[in-house]
Amino acid sequence: MTTDPTSDEHASAPSSPIDSALASLATLEELDVAEHPAVYEAVHRVLRDQLAGTGDSSPPA
């Protein structure tokens, strides 16, 4: 029997700025739609900085 790597049983804290940024997308359903752009912009900033190799962005809160 194989285990599902996406199951909650194996979930752990994000281990990189990219993981943290992507995890912040899960908060969208709890937020008012008017607040979504700020989350998307923060994720975009982290991804852009990581791709540029600067890594200066801290993960979105």
User: Mind listing the pLDDT tens digit for each residue in 41-56?
Assistant: 999 999 999 999 876 6
Q: How many angstroms separate the CA atoms of 51 and 26, rounded?
A: 22
pTM: 0.64
Closest-CA residue to 27 (of 55, 4, 59): 59
What residue segments make up the domains of the chain, in order of their start? 15-52
Q: 42 near 60, Cβ under 8 Å?
A: yes
Read off the pLDDT of each residue in 28-34 and give the average, rounded to a whole number: 96
Measured between alpha carbons, how far is 56 from 59 in angstroms, rounded to an integer?
Answer: 10
- Residue 13: is its pLDDT beyond 70? no
Q: How far is Cα 1 from Cα 21, in angstroms, rounded to an integer?
A: 32
Is a pLDDT exceeding 70 seen at residue 12?
no
